[in-house]
């Protein structure tokens, strides 16, 4: 297993990405979609985690148009301030186009079996949902996605399997929003939703304030099984 920084050719220019490869040199691919902190150590560790489970994992730098190479932490108010400022200026539509470029890049990577999924957290959770409606991803997973309730008009475009992990006590996705998401996707056989009753936003961010190992392990196990089923 090895990780390195690479360059991906996107629709509006080249951007950086971190990619981790499985030791076998063969497997499915997965695009790991960042939180609001950029492609930081947490995101890189998620890529390494997938590589250890036999997948090629690529995390694109989605903030490159605003500021290339952002690697913030969740440990200081200053970094939180920068992260929120970037998120507010971020163009979601262009971000999805960059993820499509990342999916295409992975599909052409030596050793990738042709199947590529997407998994995102927070801001990336919303983007993972949009990947299911706008890209050719083979399977999408969103962790505590923010603003999915405002994207439900695209639900009829879902063509491939989707799994959403919802934190019931998520302060960025209040109960009313969660209800809209669950109701809006109810009856869609392609969508699986898991709710984690006592969990706050970012319960799976290792080292974070709301990290909960038991729930994170449960969600990650479900994600791993989901990708094994749909990506091979």
- The residues, ordered by sequence, that sit 6+ positions from 107 with a Cβ below 8 Å of its Cβ are 29, 114, 116
Q: Is residue 61 annotated as part of the catalytic site, yes or no?
A: no
Q: Which of 79, 138, 170, 212 is catalytic?
A: 170
Q: Is residue 230 annotated as part of the catalytic site, yes or no?
A: no
**DSSP code string of 25-63:** S-EEEEEEEP-TTBS-HHHHHHHHHHHHTT-EEEEE-TT
Q: Which of 212, 161, 216 is nearest to 190 (CA)?
A: 161
The long-range contacts involving 37-40, CB below 8 angstroms and separated by at least 24 positions, are 37/70, 37/71, 37/72, 37/73, 37/74, 37/79, 37/83, 38/63, 38/69, 38/70, 38/71, 38/72, 38/83, 38/86, 39/70, 39/71, 40/70, 40/71, 40/72, 40/73
Q: Which of 50, 105, 165, 201 is catalytic?
A: 201
Query: Catalytic site residues?
Result: 170, 201
């Amino acid at each position: 297993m090895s990780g390195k920084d690479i360059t991906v050719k996107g629709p509006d220019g080249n951007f950086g990405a971190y990619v981790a490869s499985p030791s076998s040199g063969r497997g499915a691919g997965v695009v790991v979609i960042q939180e609001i902190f950029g492609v930081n150590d947490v995101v890189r560790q998620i890529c390494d985690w997938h590589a250890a489970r036999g997948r090629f994992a690529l995390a694109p730098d989605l903030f490159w148009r605003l500021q290339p190479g952002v690697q913030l932490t969740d440990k200081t108010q200053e970094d939180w301030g920068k992260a929120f400022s970037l998120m507010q200026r971020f163009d979601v539509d262009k971000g999805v186009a960059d993820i499509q470029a990342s999916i295409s890049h992975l599909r052409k990577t030596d050793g990738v079996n042709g199947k590529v999924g997407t998994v995102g957290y927070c801001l990336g959770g919303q983007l993972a949902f949009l990947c299911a409606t706008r890209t050719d991803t083979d399977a999408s997973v969103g962790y505590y996605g923010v603003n999915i309730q405002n994207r439900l008009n695209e639900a009829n475009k879902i063509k491939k399997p989707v799994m959403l992990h919802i934190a019931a006590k998520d302060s960025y996705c209040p109960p009313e929003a969660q209800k809209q998401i669950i109701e809006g996707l109810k009856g869609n056989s392609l969508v699986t939703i898991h709710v984690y009753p006592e969990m706050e936003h970012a319960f799976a961010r290792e080292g974070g304030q709301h990290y909960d190992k038991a729930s994170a392990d449960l969600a990650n196990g479900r994600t791993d099984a989901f990708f094994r089923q749909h990506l091979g």
